[in-house]
Amino acid sequence: MMHKSVWGPLRGVSGFVFLIVNTLLWAVPIYILGLVKLMLPFRTARTALDTVLDRLSYTWMLCNNGFLDILKDIDYEVTGLEKLRMDQWCLVISNHQTWVDIIALQKILHNRIPFLKYFLKKELIWVPILGLAWWALDYPFMKRYSGEYLSKHPDRKGKDIEMTRKACEKFKAKPVSMMNFVEGTRFSAGKHKAQKSPFRHLLRPRSGGIAFVLSSMGEYMSRVIDITIVYPDGVENIWEFMCSKKTRIRVHIEILPIEGALLGDYFNDDAFRNGFQEWLNALWSRKDARISAMLADSSSFEN
């Protein structure tokens, strides 16, 4: 009889093999249709093909979710799902502790909000397999100019936002959800200490990313979906998650309106930038307290 300790690594290897094969399986038709869309001369035809591409991506995620449900026991406890809608543009923000966060978000948000898209650095288009798939699915690739570059080329100031806004023009045809991990990286004790973060469970939030999204798309976005994710039994990295038999994940969803106070020239208006940063820091303080409450009570918590 195989020793029980072998089952964890076998579960992990089979999980990774499936995710790679499943990604390759759906990436090929996405590549093909992406090239077809590039050659289509009519906006109506391209928009119709966008719907097909989104459905392929939805199915890819559905297969991932279904396999993980078979592979292991994932116990989700989620509050706020009833507030989600498919018919509105939105900005999704979340704390970030592990790559498992992305799996959890794909699971709980699937078919509950418009298709999730991420702003990606221009260099990520060269990521094997995924880079071209992101391009075909119209993930916006952005190029941010550094302060040093702009000091030498002042004529380029604002051009990065202008290019991204132009890339987002296609999203006016139908609702989308833009995702941003506000901390910019996964939480770790080392990063927390290095930053001298004032929060117990969070890194300092970076306001530039979501300000960039709102500068590009704020005119037709109506809501921020603020998500808080905790792991009552401890945070697992992706390998530990695949190997473990059971994982408990708790998620709280809060809807925030996008009002005039969040819309302005973040990169050139000092007063607006300071106000925006104050808003985000206050939001992060509430999230930090919520995480403490969620971890303290593993059965229920209040909104």
The tens digit of pLDDT for each residue in 119-172 reads: 777 777 888 888 888 888 888 777 666 667 667 767 666 666 676 677 677 777
* Structure confidence at residue 299 as a pLDDT band (50, 70, 90): low
Domains annotated for the chain, with CATH where assigned, are 73-296 (3.40.1130)
pLDDT in the model for residue 301: 43
pLDDT in the model for residue 300: 47
Between the CA of residue 221 and those of 69, 118, 123, what are the distances in Å? 33, 15, 27
pLDDT in the model for residue 1: 40
Contact call for residues 85 and 113 (beta carbons, < 8 A): yes
Contact call for residues 247 and 149 (beta carbons, < 8 A): no
Q: Where are the beta strands (DSSP E) in the chain?
A: 73-79, 90-94, 116-118, 120-121, 141-142, 177-181, 223-230, 246-257
Task: Indicate whether 233 pLDDT > 60.
Answer: yes
Task: Indicate whether 214 pLDDT > 90.
Answer: no
Between the CA of residue 173 and those of 39, 47, 100, what are the distances in Å? 19, 8, 31
Residue 132: φ, ψ to 5°: -70, -35
- Each residue of 30-39: b (16+ CB within 10 Å) or e? beebbeebee
- With a CB cutoff of 8 Å and minimum separation 6, the contacts of 73 are 245, 246, 247
* Amino acid at site 52: V
Q: What is the CA radius of gyration of the chain?
A: 20
